[in-house]
Every structure is written in structure tokens, then in C-alpha cells.
Structure 1
Amino acid sequence: MEGRIIDVKGNKLYIEHHNPFEGRPTIVFLHDSLGSVQLWRDFPAKLSEHTGCNVLVYDRLGYGKSDPMPTHVRPVNYMALEAHVLNELLLEIEPDIEDVILFGHSDGGTIALIMAAVYPEWVRAVICEAGHIFVEDVTLKGVYDAWDAYKTSNLPERLQKYHGDKVDTLFKAWTETWTRDDYRGWNIEYLLKDITAPLLFIQGEADEYGTLDQVEKTVTQVSGNAEKYIIPETGHTPHKEVPELVLRKAAEFINNFF
């Protein structure tokens, strides 16, 4: 897919938009807290092939080929703000975007849930992979472990391949936000009742960043149809660890509605 830069409220965001299927929905991919367009690899293209849907994948501000973040200090509601940015991005691209299906991983999964609640006019279905609706001790342990790896391994160099000189800022933005005292009470359960689009929640049973409470409390509180897909012996990134399983389930879910 060819990429281009879109100006959204003065910030330049890198997107790849593949829309060969006239009249078909667009799957919008939302990456995780260290992710990027490149790190999705060929997963978006494969899901497009399995469903006959168009694809939009983009780097959030501070990631990949998009503009850097102005600061690593984030407000508690930073993921809600990202949902507003996505709304603006979609407005910039329309009318090339029709029905939207969100596929979000980790932070991206949470942003997808918020987007579906706050901007239901865009969203026809949601696939949330390893998203969070509140903070758990296991999540914080995962963040601290990642911080240790950042200080003691070649993780910074590996991330620089995708984010360039933005790595330190984005890593601090993630780790320092989640471990701040004022973030401990972050919770979006109050929004779930406003989600009416069909929802598929995918999670690895061995997810090192969240328990199955994240799944159960989401699928039981949304207003629309909701199902869960728990994958045994799988961690936080099912679409990389067991891609064929995730592709098959995600395609089955989408093809059931479109």
C-alpha cells in the first residue's frame, strides 16, 4: 500500500489507504503503545483479502512516520483525545471512507472502544484485541518489565527502526503515563453502554498486560452484540503470535455482518 501524509489540525500524520473495493467497508487499524504502520506488517492486507474490505492504517502523532509528540507528558484522557483525532482524520479522507470497522490492538483497542462509544455514526463494527478499560496490577508489572528491557537490552535500537529519533519520547509517554499515581483510577467502563456496534474482543489467555476481566467486563456492558475469543497459550499480541487464528476469526466476524 502506498503511503501519504495527511494534515490533521496542524499535525502531519502518515497513512496508508487501500480502497479498491467500491461500496465496501473500510477496516481502520489502530496500533498499540509502541506500534506503527510498519509493525502491522502484512496483517491488514491479509484481512482485506479475507473480507473484501478496504484498509486504512495510520501512525498516531509521535509514532512511525508521523510528526513527533510535542511532549511525553500526557493527560489521563489521552486515549479519548486520540479518538477525536481519528474522527478528524476520517473527516479529512471522506467521501473515500464509508462504513468503518475498527481493529485496534492494546492502546489501539481502547481507542477503538472509545471511538465506537463517542462517534457511533462512523463505526459499524469493532474488533478489540487486548484492549484495556481499567488499570490492573498485571498491566503495571508489564509496563515496568518493558521499562527494564528498554534500559538493559537492544529494545531502543529495535524501535528506532520504526520510529527514528522519536523513540525516547514515545516510550516515556507510555511508561510514565501508565505508572503515574493519577492514572491508577483511569476507567472507561462508563462509556461501554454507548457502544451499539457489534464487538469482537480477542485476547490471549496468557496476556502479560491484562487479565480476562478486561474482556468479561467489556462484553457484558456494551449495548450491541458482543462476543469474545480467548486464545490459549497466547500473550499480548495474538495477531503476531497466532496470525492465522486471528485472521480466521476476524474475517468470520466481519463477513457475518457485511
Structure 2
Amino acid sequence: MTTTTTTTADAGTVFANLHARGRDLRLECQWIAPERADAPLIVFLHEGLGSVSMWKDWPTRVCDQANCRGLVYSRYGYGQSTARPLSEAWAPDFMHREAQEVLPALLEVLGVDARRDKPVLFGHSDGGSIALLYAAAYPDAVAGVVAAAPHLFVEDVSVASIAQARTAYLESDLRARLGRHHQDVDSAFWGWNDIWLNPEFRAWNIEDALERIACPVLAIQGVDDEYGTLEQVRAIGRRAPQTELLEIPDCGHSPHRDQPATVVQAVARFVGALEKPG
């Protein structure tokens, strides 16, 4: 893995240039409250169709409540980051590669010494899975993980909802709404949708990796999550006994949007209880 420290700024957005996944990538990033130089850093990892802009102001709310710095970025293929060529299909290990290749390279390029200034990772959906995989691969380079509606394995309810999303993308205004957040909306949508509906992906499972996580974990899921059962977060608790579970009533797959105040408070409390790096 090689990286370059070249970055450019444009209207508050920083573009980090790095080499990972076998190619040169330009990733869209935004810093939150960088003036809090000595405060903990929370890195926000978006969902399968997310981006910097789709978080809206929620990461700022979390960082203000927790008195933290924040880093938000769009993964390869999303937002204003390098678009995935339509001819390139995600492989079943795509989340492993994001956790083990891209995120470490991004932190290095941005000058974050993860082993010294251990970040907290907040990941939603696929981002939650990536956060857990990073913590398993680099247990000495993370202070804590908040996994909101993460996926550990593929369930029938996940596949059914993702198939419904495909229909909505083709037949409703979903494509136009997503298009406001991605420079290549077809790249973003089909990369996510195709791999999740690929029969080979049904065997994907990251439960074994959880046993290598050493940091505290807060696992959050809505009781009414349309993309997964509560077994997703409960399995984290069995594999990583230092996990705190938060199951939220009247809440679907996006706890930070469905019950924002509850999640902001829970994250701030969790971060405040962590041991300081060093």
C-alpha cells in the first residue's frame, strides 16, 4: 500500500489522494471542528448508498455533543469521490478491503496516527460492518466502535429489502434523489445493489472476526430495521463481550435519522467513557 500526502481543498471539502484497491483514488473528505486539536476524533463511515452530503449535519451534532473532532468521507464509488467504473463489480470481500486497505491509507494521508491518536469509528449499515472489520484487523489503532445497524451476515430480510430498492431505483424518483449526492449515481447504486443480490454473497459472514476486537463497542439497531433482524447486533454481543447493545423502539434501519436525539446522546456518553489515547 503506497500513499501520497497531496490534498486539495474546494469549498470546505478536502480531497485526499491515495493508492489503494490497486488504483489511485481521490476521496471526498470533510473535517468537523478541527480546532479541537486535542479532542478525540470520530470517523464516520457511511451506509451502502451514503456519502458526505447524505449525513447532513448529524456528524456535527454528535461532535458538538461529545466535544470531539470529526472526519466524514465518501468511499470509493460514492459522493464526489472517484467513481467506480460500471464494468467493475464489487467482490464479496469489498468491505474487508475498505477496512483493511482504504481506511488505513486514508488516515495516513490525512496525517492521523491511528496507533497514537486512536480514533472512534461510527459506522452505519455497511459502514458499521467496515468499522468492525477495521477494529478486528487493527485492534491497537482504534479507541472504540459505534456500529449502527451493521451487517454480520446476509439475511432473507436484507435481500428482500435490497431487491425492493432495485425496483424503486428503476421505477420511482429514487435515482433522482440519490443523484443529488453522487457524481455518478448509477455507479454508486449498482455497485451496492448488485453485490448484495449476487448469490455468491449469501455466504458472506464476519462473525469470526469479531473475536479479535479489543476495544469497547456500542452496537445500535432499530427494532423495526427493514434490512436486518436484531440478531445482527446480538451476535456482536456474543462474540465481543465488551459490547453494549442499544435496541431502539420505533426505529428502522437508520437510527441516526429515525431517533437522532437518542443516538447522539448514546454516542456522546460512549465516547466520554473511553480511555484517552496514550
Does TM, scored on the shorter chain, surpass 0.5? yes
CA contact (8 A) 2:79 2:181 kept: yes
- Structure 1 residue 65: Cα displacement: 0.9
Q: Percent identity?
A: 39
Q: Secondary structure at the match of 2:256?
A: helix
Identify the residue that residue 108 of structure 1 maps to in structure 2. 127
Which residue is equivalent to 1:79? 95
Structure-2 residue corresponding to 1:16 = 30
Who is 2:7 aligned against? none
Q: Would you identify which runs of 4 or more consecutive aligned residues in structure 1 move more than 4 Å?
A: none
Asked if 2 retains the 8 angstrom alpha-carbon contact of 1:29 and 1:58, the reply is yes
Q: What SS is found at the alignment partner of 1:116?
A: helix
The answer to whether the Cα contact below 8 Å between 1:72 and 1:172 also exists between their aligned partners in 2 is no
2:232 to 214, 225, 231: 214
CA-atom RMSD, angstroms?
1.4
The equivalences for 1:150-229 within 5 A come to 150-164=169-183, 166-222=184-240, 225-229=242-246
More helix by share: 1
Task: Give the match's secondary structure for 2:203.
Answer: coil
Distance 2:194 2:120 in 1: 31
Contact 1:33 1:108 in 2 (8 A): yes
Secondary structure of the corresponding residue to residue 207 of structure 1: coil
Partner Cα distance (1:101, 1:186) in 2: 25
Is 1:25 matched with 2:40? yes
Q: 1:39 aligns with which of 19, 40, 54?
A: 54
Give the number of aligned pairs. Answer: 256
Residue 99 of structure 1 and its aligned partner are, at CA, apart by 2.1
Matched position secondary structure for 2:84: coil
| Partner AA of 1:15 in structure 2 | C
- Whether the aligned pair in 2 keeps the contact of 1:109 and 1:130 (CA below 8 Å) is yes
After superposition, the C-alpha distances for 1:117-143 in whole angstroms (9 at most, x for unaligned) are: 001222100000000010000000110
1:43 corresponds to which letter in structure 2?
W
Distance 1:227 1:95 in 2: 27
Task: Name the SS of the counterpart of 1:123 in structure 2.
Answer: coil
* Distance in 2 between residues matched to 1:180 and 1:152, nearest whole Å: 21
Secondary structure of the residue aligned to 1:184 is: helix
The amino acid of 1:69's aligned partner reads R
Question: Which 5+ residue runs of structure 2 have no aligned equivalent?
Answer: 1-10
Q: Deviations over 1:136-194 (max 9, x none)?
A: 00000110111111111100000111103x11122111111111111110001110000
Instruction: Please give the alpha-carbon distance, in whole angstroms, between the structure 2 residues aligned to 1:28 and 1:232.
Output: 26
Q: Aligned residue for 2:14?
A: 4
